[in-house]
Amino acid sequence: MFTGIVSDVGTIDAVERQGDLRVRVSTAYPTHEIDLGASVACSGVCLTVVDKGPGWLDFDVSGETVSRTADDQWTAGRKLNLERALRLGDELGGHIVTGHVDGIGRVKLVEAIEGSHHVVIAAGPEIAPYVAPKGSITVDGVSLTVNAVDDTPEGVEFHLNIIPHTATVTTFATLAEGQAVNLEIDVLARYLQRMEALRAKG
């Protein structure tokens, strides 16, 4: 379980195919404090630490995970938003995040407004029912508040405001139009949608 509050930006140093992908990520985390088998969210994807050393962590990334995450995410040189798993007593600064990607969005617009960035992300119909103004959504592992929602024939477009601090401590400093991003809907929205679906069945 995570909160969507990024605590480090890592870099993929190497990718090897060993059946699945073995991905080595450099990090500022004190890796001696991280156990093998621990969970770390990597740009919104919950992965298990399978090896480690000073300044780096290794993860195995399955073919299923690769197929369900953003284009070119698992390539050398890629920056990743990192978050260690929530521990008992930690502050829940964002919202409850599971680290399971529900869909891929694509950045439609990035524009600077008074120091912040107005960002519009387009997503498909599988995401549309779960996005609401003032609701929460996770984008590449970052907990964000939706400012506005536009329904489209292709699904949905939603508007975000990225403040300078968020851009500085995440990969959003280089967010670009056309870029694919991992999306996770709010778990509460998921349950509400299920309740509504059951209610409609009568």
Distances in whole angstroms, Cα of residue 23 to Cα of each of 4, 74, 95:
22, 7, 27
Question: One digit per residue, pLDDT tens: the chain, 202 residues?
Answer: 899 999 999 999 999 998 899 999 999 999 999 999 999 999 999 999 999 999 999 999 999 999 999 999 999 999 999 999 987 656 666 678 999 999 999 999 999 998 899 999 999 999 999 999 999 999 999 999 999 999 999 999 999 999 999 999 999 999 999 999 999 998 777 767 767 766 777 6
Determine the pLDDT at residue 191. Answer: 65
pLDDT at position 19? 82
113 near 126, Cβ under 8 Å?
A: no
pLDDT score for 31:
97
Report the half-sphere exposure of 84 (CA within 13 A, side-chain side).
Answer: 18
**pLDDT score recorded for residue 88:** 62
Which tens digits make up the pLDDT trace of 7-42?
999 999 999 998 899 999 999 999 999 999 999 999
Task: Give the per-residue pLDDT at 142.
Answer: 97
Q: How far is residue 118's CA from residue 110's CA, in Å, rounded to a whole number?
A: 6
Q: Residue 68 contacts by C-beta under 8 Å, 6 or more apart in sequence?
A: 101, 104
Which of the 8 DSSP states describes residue 98?
Answer: -
Domain 8-84 and domain 103-201, same fold? Reply is yes
Cβ atoms of 27 and 10 closer than 8 Å: yes
Q: Are 84 and 29 in contact (CB under 8 A)?
A: yes
> For domain 8-84, which architecture applies?
Beta Barrel (2.40)
Of 202, 98, 116, the C-alpha closest to 159 is 116
Question: What residue ranges do the domains of the chain occupy?
Answer: 8-84, 103-201
Q: Mapping DSSP to helix (H, G, I), strand (E, B) and coil, where does residue 22 land?
A: strand
Q: Which H or E run contains 122?
A: strand 116-123
Of 69, 170, 68, 76, the C-alpha closest to 119 is: 170
Residue 143 exposure: Cα atoms within 13 Å on the Cβ side: 21
What is the value of pTM for the model shown? 0.91
pLDDT of residue 198: 63
| Cα–Cα dist 115/61, whole Å | 36
Fold of 103-201: Elongation Factor Tu (Ef-tu); domain 3 (2.40.30)
